[in-house]
Amino acid sequence: MEIFLIDKIVLIVAVFGITLLFALYSTYAERKVAAFIQDRLGPNRAGAFGLLQPLADGVKFFLKEEFIPKHADKALFILGPSVSMTTALMTSAVIPWGNSLELFDRVISLQITDLNIGILYVFAVVSIGVYGIMIGGWASNNKFSLLGALRASSQMISYEIAMGLSIIALIMTTGTLSIGEIVQQQNAPILGISGASWNIIYQPLGFLIFLICAFAECNRTPFDLPESENELVGGYHTEYSSMKLGFFLFAEYTNMFISAAIMSSLYFGGYNFPFMDQLGLPHNLVTIMGTIFLFAKIVLFIFLFMWVRWTLPRFRYDQLMRMGWKMLIPLALINIIITGLLIIVLK
Amino acid sequence: MHSLSNRSKVVVNKEMTLKEKMYLPAIFGGMMITIKHFFKRKPTIQYPEQKREFSKVYRGRHILKRDEQGRENCTACGLCAVACPAEAISIVAAERKKGEEHLYREEKYAKTYEINMLRCIFCGLCEEACPKDAVYLTEELAPANFDRSNFIFGKDKLVQPIGTSAHPKTYKPYKK
């Protein structure tokens, strides 16, 4: 039992650290990608290639004046970013970061916990994430913050429906709610290639809907209306400063990392990679390679997030709502029907 | 109305086609454009380490020339001040005394020669007007300052230091 606990604690600390590291360097990557797309070089003064820039930014966040507006609700004002950050970090618990390692005559799973309702857990935690933004916007006692918070919450609600519906079609094909099992199933051979039966092959439309909704859930462009800086100053974080602002921004990047991980796990085979069982390599090595592949997929998704951000302008609010309710939800429903019909026909 | 450039487009508020409504083809097209820029060579010049070459005809801050023997060329004729469209130049002339022949080339010289760098538009007309090869515009930028009075450059800042290259056409004192 103690050994089990030690395993889990080590894993939790590792995942926590890696998540934060990724969020930290996402800020750097974002600036670099933005710069490169705009024919600039981006930060390159702090350290080699500007690699120490995130540390400098972090130090700056800590040293900035901590300011709480006079009319703000102090308790809620502090609670807002805390909720955002906590929920952003909680989701990583159910993501399988790798298969399993055989160490000291024991099998250690690289998933912190394989909840049998893992997907529901993810959705529940992500939904709580809106509260952080909502509370922060409300507590600021500022009309711009409140508008940003309102936009965030209504946008999240609209897109969570389509996201949930696209996941239902996926669950229909996999028959399980556990993310660990869903990833395991994608190891099945297809056309003689092991580890390649990724769900994207069975659910292309579902993935597309999920991807679009993930953009909306992360408040990324073209759906970054909650913080649209040219109409709402800064949206829900207008009144925030110092590390509390840092928490909000950090939560956004953590969310991006987590949703990239979830998309890789649900649709792109997670830690599975083609020919993984046919290489004849020892199990531990394959597991480590799988983890590396998972992180490669995550990095690609994060790059996609940034690529889209620096390509597209922001949607108008009515366009956003029309797209969510009139396009994505019907499409997701059609996807469910088609999936159901195909399951009946093929079985 | 007839268009002069032939590039104007009439704005119509027409219904979007299905392809446009799906957004995705347009988004994909846009992403292809941005990824092309992602891999492009960046035109950035890393300023303190790299410096952009000035054009050969660049007109920077002024210099008052000396001749080969180190005598000031300027005779305070005032043609530069007359030519100056910004009226930035003011000159007080003085007569050369006995024993000053090694300082000034001709009998008359500029006792004060001031250029107001806040007024100057660096058009180079003073250089064009000067009959004595005295005033030239170099490649140096007029430096910034906190005080307006420091922008009035007197002879202390303008006259060419003794011992530097004398030829006015090739004289680029601030180039490394």
Tens digits of residue pLDDT in A221-240:
788 877 777 777 777 778 88
Tens digits of residue pLDDT in A288-346:
888 888 899 999 999 999 999 888 888 888 888 888 888 889 989 999 999 999 888 88
Query: Which uninterrupted H or E stretch holds A143?
Result: helix A143-174
What is the rounded distance in angstroms from the CA atom of residue B158 to the CA atom of residue A112? Answer: 74
Cis peptide before A282 (omega within 30 of 0): no
The structure's pTM equals 0.78
* Rg of chain B taking only CA atoms, in angstroms: 27
Scanning every residue of chain A, which has its alpha carbon at the shortest distance from the alpha carbon of B27?
A312
Say if strands B62-64 and B152-153 run parallel, antiparallel, or are unpaired: unpaired
Q: E strands, B24-154, where?
A: 62-64, 89-95, 108-116, 135-137, 152-153
Are A93 and A184 in contact by the 8 Å Cβ rule? The answer is: no
Q: What is the pLDDT of residue A92?
A: 83
> Chain A residues with CB inside 8 Å of B38's CB?
33, 36-37, 307
* Angle value at C-alpha A146, between A142 and A149, nearest 5 degrees: 145
Instruction: Kindly state whether residue B176 falls inside one of the protein's structural domains.
Output: no
Our count of domains for chain B comes to 1
| CATH number of residue B117's parent domain | 3.30.70.3270
Q: Hey, are the CB atoms on B33 and A308 less than 8 Å from each other? A: no
Q: What is the pLDDT of residue B171?
A: 52
Q: What is the pLDDT of residue A110?
A: 77
What is the rounded distance in angstroms from the CA atom of residue A78 to the CA atom of residue A240? Answer: 10
Q: Which of A41, A223, A311 should one mutate to test binding to chain B, selecting the residue with the greatest count of B CBs within 10 A?
A: A311
Q: What is the pLDDT of residue A220?
A: 82
Q: Between the CA atoms of A149, A150, A152 and A155, what dihedral angle is there, to the nearest 10 degrees?
A: 180
Instruction: Kindly state whether residue B166 falls inside one of the protein's structural domains.
Output: no
Instruction: Kindly state whether residue B145 falls inside one of the protein's structural domains.
Output: yes
> Chain B residues with CB inside 8 Å of A319's CB?
none
Q: Hey, are the CB atoms on A36 and B27 less than 8 Å from each other? A: no
CA distances from A339 to A209, A246, A264 (A): 14, 42, 21
> Chain B residues with CB inside 8 Å of A39's CB?
37, 40, 42-43
Which 3 state secondary structure label does DSSP give A298?
A: helix
Tens digits of residue pLDDT in A7-38:
888 888 888 888 888 888 988 999 999 999 99
Are A141 and A225 in contact by the 8 Å Cβ rule? The answer is: no
What are the residues whose beta carbons fall under 8 Å from the beta carbon of B58, sequence distance 6 or more? B139
What is the rounded distance in angstroms from the CA atom of residue A265 to the CA atom of residue A94? Answer: 11
Residue B175 has pLDDT above 50, yes or no: no
Q: Hey, are the CB atoms on B27 and A40 less than 8 Å from each other? A: no
* Residues 39-68 of chain A whose Cβ lies under 8 A from any Cβ of chain B: 39-41
Per-residue buried b or exposed e for B19-28, using 16+ beta carbons within 10 Å of the residue's own CB: eeeebeeeee
What are the residues whose beta carbons fall under 8 Å from the beta carbon of A330, sequence distance 6 or more? none
Q: Hey, are the CB atoms on B37 and A39 less than 8 Å from each other? A: yes
The one-letter code for the residue type at A61 is F
Q: What is the pLDDT of residue A159?
A: 87
Q: Is A205 an 8 Å CB contact of chain B?
A: no
Enumerate chain B positions whose Cβ falls within 8 A of a Cβ in A. Answer: 23, 27, 30-31, 33-35, 37-40, 42-44, 46
What is the rounded distance in angstroms from the CA atom of residue B2 to the CA atom of residue A124? Answer: 61
Full residue range of the structural domain in which residue B131 is found: 61-158
What interhelical angle do A242-267 and A53-63 show, nearest 10? 140
Q: B8, exposed or middle or buried, with CB in 10 Å at 0-12, 13-18, 19+?
A: exposed
What are the residues whose beta carbons fall under 8 Å from the beta carbon of A332, sequence distance 6 or more? A162, A165, A166, A168, A169, A206, A209
Residue B166 has pLDDT above 70, yes or no: no
What is the rounded distance in angstroms from the CA atom of residue A212 to the CA atom of residue A97? Answer: 24
Which residue numbers of B belong to the known binding site for [4Fe-4S] cluster? 74, 77, 80, 84, 120, 123, 126, 130
Per-residue buried b or exposed e for A315-339, using 16+ beta carbons within 10 Å of the residue's own CB: beeeebeebbeebbbebbeebbeeb
Q: Which of B27, B31, B33, B50 should one mutate to test binding to chain A, selecting the residue with the greatest count of A CBs within 10 A?
A: B31
User: How much is the mean pLDDT over chain A?
Assistant: 85
In percent, how much of chain B has pLDDT > 70? 91
Residue A124 has pLDDT above 90, yes or no: no
Q: Which of B19, B23, B32, B46 should one mutate to test binding to chain A, selecting the residue with the greatest count of A CBs within 10 A?
A: B23
> Chain B residues with CB inside 8 Å of A312's CB?
27, 30
CA A257 vs. chain centroid, Å, equals: 5
Tens digits of residue pLDDT in A206-219:
899 999 888 888 88
Nearest to B34 among A37, A40, A323 (CB): A37
Q: What is the pLDDT of residue B116?
A: 92
Q: How confident is the model at residue B167 (pLDDT cuts 50, 70, 90)?
A: low
> Chain B residues with CB inside 8 Å of A310's CB?
34
What are the residues whose beta carbons fall under 8 Å from the beta carbon of A42, sequence distance 6 or more? A31, A32, A34, A35, A36, A50
Scanning every residue of chain B, which has its alpha carbon at the shortest distance from the alpha carbon of A307?
B31
What is the rounded distance in angstroms from the CA atom of residue B69 to the CA atom of residue B105? Answer: 9
Residue A184 has pLDDT above 70, yes or no: yes
Tens digits of residue pLDDT in B13-39:
888 787 777 788 888 988 999 999 989
* Residues 300-339 of chain A whose Cβ lies under 8 A from any Cβ of chain B: 307-308, 310-312, 323
In terms of phi and psi (left: phi > 0; alpha: psi -120 to 50; beta: otherwise), the region of B44 is beta
What is the rounded distance in angstroms from the CA atom of residue A84 to the CA atom of residue A202? Answer: 34
**Both structure tokens of A125:** 């935690």
Residue B72 is given by DSSP the state B
Residue B56 has pLDDT above 80, yes or no: no
Instruction: Kindly state whether residue B98 falls inside one of the protein's structural domains.
Output: yes
If you count residue pairs, one on A and one on B, with CB atoms under 8 Å apart, how many are there?
A: 34
Which of A185-194, A220-229, A250-259 is modeled with the greatest confidence? A250-259
User: How much is the mean pLDDT over chain B?
Assistant: 83
Query: Which uninterrupted H or E stretch holds A103?
Result: strand A100-103
For chain A, helix (H) and strand (E) counts, in that order, are 13, 2
CA distances from A123 to A91, A130, A223, B92 (A): 9, 11, 19, 83
Residue B151 is given by DSSP the state G
Cα four-point dihedral sign A246, A264, A344, A118: negative
C-alpha distance from A328 to closest chain B C-alpha (Å): 11
Which residue numbers of B belong to the known binding site? 74, 77, 80, 84, 120, 123, 126, 130
Residue A1 has pLDDT above 70, yes or no: no
What is the rounded distance in angstroms from the CA atom of residue B53 to the CA atom of residue B13? Answer: 49
**Both structure tokens of A39:** 């024919």
Instruction: Kindly state whether residue B88 falls inside one of the protein's structural domains.
Output: yes
Scanning every residue of chain A, which has its alpha carbon at the shortest distance from the alpha carbon of B49?
A45
Residue ranges per structural domain of chain A: 70-346
C-alpha distance from A227 to closest chain B C-alpha (Å): 22
Q: Hey, are the CB atoms on A311 and B37 less than 8 Å from each other? A: no
Q: Is A37 an 8 Å CB contact of chain B?
A: yes
Q: How confident is the model at residue B1 (pLDDT cuts 50, 70, 90)?
A: low
Scanning every residue of chain A, which has its alpha carbon at the shortest distance from the alpha carbon of B39?
A36
CA A124 vs. chain centroid, Å, equals: 14
Scanning every residue of chain A, which has its alpha carbon at the shortest distance from the alpha carbon of B33?
A311
Tens digits of residue pLDDT in A53-93:
888 888 888 888 888 888 878 888 888 888 888 888 888 88
In percent, how much of chain B has pLDDT > 90? 16
Instruction: Kindly state whether residue B19 falls inside one of the protein's structural domains.
Output: no
What are the residues whose beta carbons fall under 8 Å from the beta carbon of A48, sequence distance 6 or more? none
Nearest to A39 among B23, B31, B43 (CB): B43
Q: Hey, are the CB atoms on A311 and B30 less than 8 Å from each other? A: yes
Residue B85 has pLDDT above 90, yes or no: yes
Residue B168 has pLDDT above 70, yes or no: no
